[in-house]
């Protein structure tokens, strides 16, 4: 069966009941999913094989106070059995097409500086803009 890739909407919430365990960091919480899908600035492209969600690329539309909107990719995940089949590329391209359709100016990702990640983004002709990835976090 062919894998379908598209931007998920609220009407697609049922797809998240059949997610391959290798797509997200943990199980999908119905309440968090509803909140995510209801937020206009949060977007998620999904890859579906039959009735199973096997990949996703989530992002946020960032509204700047001094320039046009940008799209930031937050996460990209494809379940192991479907990797290296172009699904990650299709997910990112779907996000790029959607970002264009809603007049975002550009699209960004903060990726791990691994050879695999670098190779993926370069294969899509993305330009590396930084030398290192440094992130900080704090529990609230």
Per-residue pLDDT tens over the stretch 94-105: 999 999 999 898
**Structural domain includes residue 99:** yes
Give the number of domains in the chain: 1
**Structural domain includes residue 14:** yes
pLDDT beyond 70 at 123:
yes
**Structural domain includes residue 125:** no
Under 8 Å between Cβ of 115 and 82:
no
**Residue 124 — very low, low, confident or very high, per pLDDT cuts 50/70/90?**
confident
When pLDDT is averaged across residues 64-77 and rounded to a whole number, the result is 92
Per-residue pLDDT tens over the stretch 41-62: 999 999 999 999 999 999 999 9
Neighbours of 18 (CB within 10 A): 13
**Structural domain includes residue 34:** yes
**Structural domain includes residue 75:** yes
Neighbours of 127 (CB within 10 A): 6
**Structural domain includes residue 43:** yes
129 by Cβ neighbours in 10 Å (0-12 / 13-18 / 19+) ranks as exposed
When pLDDT is averaged across residues 14-36 and rounded to a whole number, the result is 96
Q: In the chain, count of helices (H) and strands (E)?
A: 3, 5
Under 8 Å between Cβ of 104 and 98:
no
**Structural domain includes residue 121:** no
Q: Is the pTM of this model over 0.85?
A: yes
pLDDT beyond 80 at 140:
no
């Amino acid at each position: 069966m062919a894998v379908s890739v598209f931007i998920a909407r609220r009407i697609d919430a049922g797809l998240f009941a059949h997610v391959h365990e290798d797509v997200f960091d943990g199980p999908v919480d119905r309440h968090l999913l509803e909140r995510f899908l209801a937020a206009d600035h949060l977007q998620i492209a999904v890859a579906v094989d039959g009735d199973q969600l096997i990949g996703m690329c989530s992002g946020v539309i960032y509204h700047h106070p001094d320039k046009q909107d940008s799209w930031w990719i937050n996460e990209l995940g494809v379940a192991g059995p479907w990797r290296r089949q172009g699904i990650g590329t299709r997910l990112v391209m779907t996000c790029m097409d959607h970002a264009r359709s809603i007049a975002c100016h550009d699209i960004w990702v903060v990726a791990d500086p691994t050879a695999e990640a670098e190779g993926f983004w370069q294969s899509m002709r993305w330009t590396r803009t930084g030398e290192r990835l440094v992130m900080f976090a704090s529990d609230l």
